Amino acid sequence: MLTATAVDAFSVDSGAAEATYNISVSQLSPSQENTGLELNAAAPSVVNPGINTFNMNINGQDHELSIEVEEGDTNEVVLQKMAVAINDVGLGVTGEVTAVSAEGTQQLVITADQTGTAGSFTLSDISGNAVTGTGADAVSTAAQDAAYTVDGTEYTSETNTIYLDGGLVTVNLKGAGESILKVTPDQKEVENAITAFVSEVNSFIDFLEANSDYIKDEVLSSMNSFITDHKMELESLGITPDEDGTLVINTGQLATAVSENLSGIKKTFGGLDGLAVQTENRAARIATDSPLNYAKEGEGMSMDFVDYLYGTSATMLKGIIQGMLLNTFA
Task: Tell me what the mean pLDDT of segment 28-46 comes to.
Answer: 96
Identify whether residues 252 and 167 lie together within a single domain: no
Identify whether residues 166 and 56 lie together within a single domain: no
134 within a domain of the structure (yes/no): yes
pLDDT-above-70 percentage for the chain: 81
307 within a domain of the structure (yes/no): yes
* Cα–Cα distance measured from residue 312 to residue 307, given in angstroms and rounded to the nearest whole number: 7
Identify whether residues 213 and 294 lie together within a single domain: yes
C-alpha distance from residue 105 to each of 64, 140, 278, 303 (Å) = 28, 18, 70, 73
Identify whether residues 102 and 225 lie together within a single domain: no
**Residue 17, domain extent:** 2-29+145-183
* Neighbouring C-beta atoms of residue 98, cutoff 10 Å: 13
Which of residues 182 and 275 earns the better pLDDT score? 182
Q: Is the pLDDT of residue 149 over 90?
A: yes
330 within a domain of the structure (yes/no): no
The conformational region for residue 280 under phi > 0 = left, psi -120 to 50 = alpha, else beta, is alpha
108 within a domain of the structure (yes/no): yes
Identify whether residues 243 and 117 lie together within a single domain: no
Per-residue model confidence as pLDDT tens digits over 208-252: 787 777 777 777 787 788 788 888 888 888 999 888 888 999 999
Identify whether residues 38 and 133 lie together within a single domain: yes
Identify whether residues 165 and 96 lie together within a single domain: no
Query: What local confidence, expressed as pLDDT, does residue 213 receive?
Result: 75
Identify whether residues 20 and 100 lie together within a single domain: no
Per-residue model confidence as pLDDT tens digits over 54-103: 999 998 899 999 999 999 999 999 999 999 999 999 999 999 999 998 88
Task: Tell me what the mean pLDDT of segment 35-46 comes to.
Answer: 96
Beta-bridge partners for 173: 2
* Cα–Cα distance measured from residue 50 to residue 81, given in angstroms and rounded to the nearest whole number: 13
CA 309, 283, 202, 188: dihedral to nearest 10 degrees? -130
3-state secondary structure at position 35: strand
Identify whether residues 237 and 271 lie together within a single domain: yes
Residue 133: Cβ-neighbour burial (10 angstroms; 0-12, 13-18, 19+): buried
Q: Is the pLDDT of residue 10 over 60?
A: no
72 within a domain of the structure (yes/no): yes
Identify whether residues 163 and 298 lie together within a single domain: no
Which residues have C-beta within 8 Å of that of residue 12, sequence separation ≥ 6?
263, 266, 267, 270, 271
Identify whether residues 220 and 134 lie together within a single domain: no
3-state secondary structure at position 64: strand
Which of residues 221 and 11 earns the better pLDDT score? 221
3-state secondary structure at position 246: coil
162 within a domain of the structure (yes/no): yes
- Rounded to two decimals, the pTM is 0.63
Identify whether residues 204 and 101 lie together within a single domain: no
38-41: long-range pairs with CB below 8 Å, 24+: 38/100, 38/102, 38/105, 38/106, 38/107, 39/75, 39/79, 39/105, 39/106, 39/107, 39/134, 40/75, 40/104, 40/105, 41/74, 41/75, 41/76, 41/79, 41/104, 41/105, 41/106
Q: How many Cα neighbours within 13 Å face the side chain of 70?
A: 4
- CATH label of the domain that carries residue 92: 2.60.40
- What distance, in Å, lies between the first and last C-alpha atoms of the chain? 18
Domain count within the chain: 3
CA dihedral sign, ordered 129, 135, 139, 141: negative
* Cα–Cα distance measured from residue 184 to residue 163, given in angstroms and rounded to the nearest whole number: 16
